[in-house]
Amino acid sequence: MLQIDLWKRVLIWLVCVTGLIMALPNAFYTRVEQSNDAVIEIIAKGETPERLEVVEQWPSWMPSSLVNLGLDLRGGAHLLAEVKVADVYAARMDAMWPEVRDALRPERATVGTFRRQPGPDGQIRLKISKPEGMSRALELVRGLATPVTSLTGVGATDIEVSAEGDILTVQLSDAEKLSSDDRTVRQSLEIIRRRIDEVGTREPTIQRQGVDRILIQVPGIGSASELKKIIGTTAQLTFSPVVGRGSDGDAAPGVGNEIIPSLDEPGVFFTIESAPVVTGEDLVDAQPAFDQNGRPSVSFRFNTSGARRFGDYTAENIGSPFAIVLDDEVVSAPVIQSHIPGGSGIITGNFTIEESTNLAVLLRAGALPAGLEFLEERTIGPELGQDSIDAGKIATIVAFGGVLVFMVLSYGLFGIFANVALILNIALIFGMLSLIGGTLTLPGIAGIVLTVGMAVDANVLVFERIREELKAGRGPARAIEEGYSKALSAILDANVTTFITAVILFAMGSGPVRGFAITLGLGIMTSVFTAIFVTRVMIVMWFERRRPKTIEV
């Protein structure tokens, strides 16, 4: 007979009530959001009466997790960037060149004179004049190698040195490339995160995708180009020795040198050494400042090792110029007036106050270790997002109303039971979404609307089955009982198959499609729950109270 244990009834209603409470904050979205923001501000910046007032808009004993709105609903920018990991190889080799030179210099007697030859990026090609001394040269350069610390590269060293005739080639080993790639991407991720945090936008998503890609989503930002400016595609700062100055950008720079233009003097080119004295990585602080003439400038400070190198170099090269290079452009090329020991200095140029502030921010956040290539970018204006939310709301309400009316017309009282379950269903979806911190996207709303249509399916299966059992002459209680037990296998098989497709969508999809998979998957779970537990409890409770002799479904 129709019986459900008390503890099961309590449990079922408890789940429903919990779902409703979890979903409730979403009904007061703006208010809860402001309150949550104020809580974060108080933790970060301390308490003020205004902030406390905002916090109290939403009682603290209520749950306050909200459904995240996807970019297509809130507006914002989305970027998919590929880190050009190979950039680092070239930089590493250029940095290694002075070391190689210093190692070979004392052994000129054995290896003869040597010159760096032009070669592909990421290689040092060295020609020595005495090929018979090659084995000694190999030994010396190999001595510079250090072991790689990675899981796969046990026993491997970071460089690969080989010889062919009188040419000696140095390049990074495969093991080192692997671990270098990983470091580069992680470093880039961290720097991008810091730069975006500096600007202080809310809830940015910055995550690694695949081996060398980074996904960046920032809600509320004006456009993807603005976001790209903040990330500062290649804000690389170096301090490099100047070899010469000229007006021909295509002149031969000589091996180990490069020619780059001046930032504010058109037509002026500097030849600088490719291996910098100090790079932006050694920078610990940068602040907007004014120089002695009151022009905007940026003051900076190096860490100890940077300060030592900068100090040594300035001490040895008094009177010669050096270049401050930002993004392959010479910001300024002052002549070293005196030994600069403390590791701090000032960059002057034709800056506006805004430019000097931006430059300081970029420098402080650190340079990106490698360039970024933007493979995908999307900007969604906030108005379009709001339009989508409004349209989605109206569509959901109309869909909801239509289905509710249709169910009552078709099944009478049982239709009302199904409708209560349907309303609970939507609340449970929102509750679960808030709980797992899921993101609601426009296709996600479509998923909810689809769930509204499909959620009644399980109930329809049961009701149709009860009708059949009644037709077959069974009593009301027996018909309900049989209806549920016989419909169960169809309900489960049908929903498991749909759930499988939702899981595949979630695994393979990205962004909005994933949002759809989440609401569809959650919708399947909640609709099965409401159909086989909630409506059942309702029907049983109604039945126990009324004890009808006949029922009409």
Partner 1 sequence: MRLKLVPEKTSFDFFSSWKLWMGFSALLMVLSVVSFFAQGLNFGIDFRGGTTVRTESSQAIDIATYRGAMEPLELGDISITEVFDPNFEADEHVAMIRIQAQADGEAISGETIEALQAALDVIAPGIKFVSVESVGPKVSGELVQTAVLAVVLAISAVLVYIWLRFEWQFALGAVAALVHDVLLTIGVFAAVQIKFDLAIIAALLTIVGYSLNDTVVVFDRVRENLRKFKKLSLAEVLNLSINQTLSRTVMTSVTTLIALVSLFVLGGDVIRGFVFAMIWGVIVGTYSSVFVASTILLKLGVKRDWSKQANTTGNQFSNIDA
**Under rule CB under 8 A, which residues in 374-433 are in contact with partner 1?**
374-381, 383-384, 387-388, 390-392, 394-396, 398-400, 402-403, 406-407, 409-412
Q: Which stretch binds partner 1 (CB under 8 A): 96-104, 178-186, 221-229, 320-328?
A: 221-229
**Which residues are within 8 A (CB) of 448 and not within 5 positions of it... i.e. 6 or more apart?**
396, 426, 429, 519, 523
By rule CB under 8 A, what string of x and - marks binding of each residue 170-209 to partner 1?
Answer: ----------------------------------------
Smallest gap from Cβ 380 to partner 1, in A, equals 5
For 52, the token pair is: 């406390």
Site string for partner 1, 10-49 (x = CB under 8 A): --x-------------------------------------
When binding is defined by CB under 8 A, the residue of 489, 547, 549, 550 that contacts partner 1 is 489
Closest CA to 185 of 215, 160, 219: 215
Task: Evaluate whether 527 touches 452 at the Cβ level (below 8 Å).
Answer: no
Answer whether 516's CB lies under 8 Å from 442's CB: no
- 255 near partner 1 (CB under 8 A): no
- Chain residues 76-95 in contact with partner 1, contact rule CB under 8 A: 80, 82
Q: Which residues contact 111 (CB under 8 A, 6 or more apart)?
A: 104, 128, 129, 130, 133, 134, 136, 137, 140
Closest separation between CB of residue 305 and partner 1, Å? 36
Site string for partner 1, 321-360 (x = CB under 8 A): ----------------------------------------
Q: Which is nearer to partner 1, 98 or 402 (CB)?
A: 402
Residues 115-144 that bind partner 1 (CB under 8 A): none
The one segment of 267-275, 299-307, 315-323, 497-505 that binds partner 1 by CB under 8 A: 497-505
Work out how close the CB of 530 gets to partner 1 at its nearest, in angstroms, rounded to a whole number: 12
Q: Which of residues 227-246 bind partner 1 (CB under 8 A)?
A: 228-229
Q: Is 457 in the site for partner 1 (CB under 8 A)?
A: yes
| Residue among 24, 435, 492, 525 that touches partner 1 (CB under 8 A) | 492
In whole angstroms, give the CA distance from residue 10 to residue 450: 30
The closest of 188, 34, 297, 43 to 196, measured between CA atoms, is 188
459: amino acid identity, one letter = N
CB closer to partner 1 out of 138 and 492? 492
Looking at beta carbons only, is 12 or 237 nearer to partner 1? 12
As a whole number of angstroms, the distance between CA 143 and CA 96 comes to: 13
- Cα 151 to its chain centre, rounded Å, is 26
Taking every pair of C-alpha atoms in the chain, what is the biggest distance, in angstroms? Answer: 113
* Minimum CB distance to partner 1, residue 423 (Å): 14
Tokens representing residue 105 in the block: 């210099």
Calpha distance 456→453 (Å, rounded): 6
> Per CB under 8 A, does 277 bind partner 1?
no
Q: Side chain identity at 216, as an amino acid letter?
A: I
For every residue of 115-181, DSSP letters joined together read EEEP--TTEEEEEES-GGGHHHHHHHHHTT--B--SSS-TT-BSEEEEEETTEEEEEE-HHHHHHHH
215 lies in the binding site for partner 1 (CB under 8 A)? no
List phi, psi (to 5°) of 383.
Answer: -65, -45
Candidates 142-150, 223-231, 242-250, 301-309; binding stretch for partner 1 (CB under 8 A)? 223-231
Taking alpha carbons only, the member of 122, 106, 123, 105 closest to residue 114 is 105
- Least Å distance, CB 46 to partner 1, is 38
**Stretch 533-552: interaction string toward partner 1, x if CB under 8 A:** x--xx--------------x
Of 39 and 490, which has the nearer Cβ to partner 1?
490
Show the site string, 464-483: x = touches partner 1 by CB under 8 A, - = not: x--xx--x------------
Helices (H) and strands (E) in the chain, counts: 17, 19
> Hey, which residues between 515 and 534 contact partner 1 (CB under 8 A)?
516-517, 520, 532-533
CB under 8 Å to 446, separation ≥6 — which residues? 516
